[in-house]
Amino acid sequence: METPPQPTHSVAELRSRLKQAGFGEDQIDLFLEEAGETLVAEYIEDFKSFFDALPKDSPNATLHESCWDAFIVQSADFECNLKRRALKLAFLRNHPQFYVKPEINSKMMLRALEAKTNQEARTILEIGLLQASGSILSKGYDSPFLRSDIIVQPILKTLNDYTKKWKPSDYDAPYATLMGL
């Protein structure tokens, strides 16, 4: 069994870089704990470049938070690309355990961010994942069976052959009957 590669960064370095990227002291520990060092290290530059792109016209220390809040309630006039980045980074910040799931789309991310509680957001995301997997299952169910001539047809032929040989005096039930235990 292979051991996962060791991170090439220290927690102190990550804390410092998160602070530079616009995170408050109280948010750093929580984010590191929820996202994990590897995920934080992978996306920290995205946070920094996003915060650098935000308007600089206010000396207010909570500018980043108010911009994120304004984005979430759709009152900010960000350019489309910045909006998309804000959504992904806000989602990463608030729900890192779901961030790497490819089934989660922008609409689900936004609904989770708008949720009043973490539990409500988690429910939205889990239901969304179930719906995504349900759609995959229905696509598979509705599509043609691949290689049915190799798998299904021989089974049906075998069952057909055995049912032709069935005689009530020799057997209690036809071979084609499926029994449940």
List pLDDT tens digits, range 115-130: 888 888 888 888 877 7
Q: DSSP per residue over 116-128, as a string?
A: SSHHHHHHHHHHH
179 or 97, greater pLDDT: 97
pLDDT higher than 50, residue 89? yes
**Most confident among 20-24, 69-73, 110-114 (mean pLDDT):** 110-114
pLDDT for the residue numbered 181: 44
Which of 162, 98, 160 minimizes the C-alpha distance to 132? 98
Q: What is the pLDDT of residue 70?
A: 55
Band the pLDDT of 80: cuts 50, 70, 90.
Answer: low
H helices, E strands: number in the chain:
9, 0
Structure tokens at 175: 């071979």
Show me where the domains of the chain are located. Answer: 11-142, 147-181
What does the alpha-carbon distance between residue 132 and residue 105 come to, in Å, rounded to a whole number? Answer: 10
Q: Residue 58 has what DSSP assignment?
A: -
- Structure token pair of residue 101: 């799931």
